[in-house]
Structure 1
C-alpha cells in the first residue's frame, strides 16, 4: 500500500512540489514554513488507495504521503 500511495502522490504532485511542501503546511521545530499540499488532491489519493486496498486507513495513506515528502526533501538536499 505504501509504495502505491507514494507513487500515486508523485503522479499527482511533481517531485519539486513534494520537496517544497508538507501534508499540513506546518513546519517542524524551527524549520521555515512550507506550503501545504493541495487538500483535494490528497483526498483523491487517499480515496484511490483505500479503494485499491480496503483494509487501509486514511491515516496510513497520509503517513505514506508524509514519508514521500520527507524522502524528496532529503534527496533534494543531497543533490545540491
Structure 2
C-alpha cells in the first residue's frame, strides 16, 4: 500500500535495509533514535560447530548491513 501511494508507514531504520521501488524515506525527528542488538551465548558454547556457524553468519550479516546502510554502526565483534 505504501509503494502504491495509498498509505504511510513508520518503521525503524533497520527495516529499510532493502529499499523498495516507489517508497520515499523521510526522517520524523531531528534526534537520533538508537537500538542495540546483542548476541549472547552460554560460556563454552562457542566450541560447538553449530553455535560457531550461527555467530559467524550473524556477524557476516551485520557487516553486510553496515555496508548497505551507513546509518547503521557495527560494535565490538
Normalised to the residue count of structure 1, the TM-score between the two structures is 0.31
Structure whose alpha-carbon radius of gyration is higher = 2
Higher relative contact order by CA 8 Å / sep ≥ 6: 1 or 2? Answer: 1
Higher strand share: 1
Higher helix share: 1
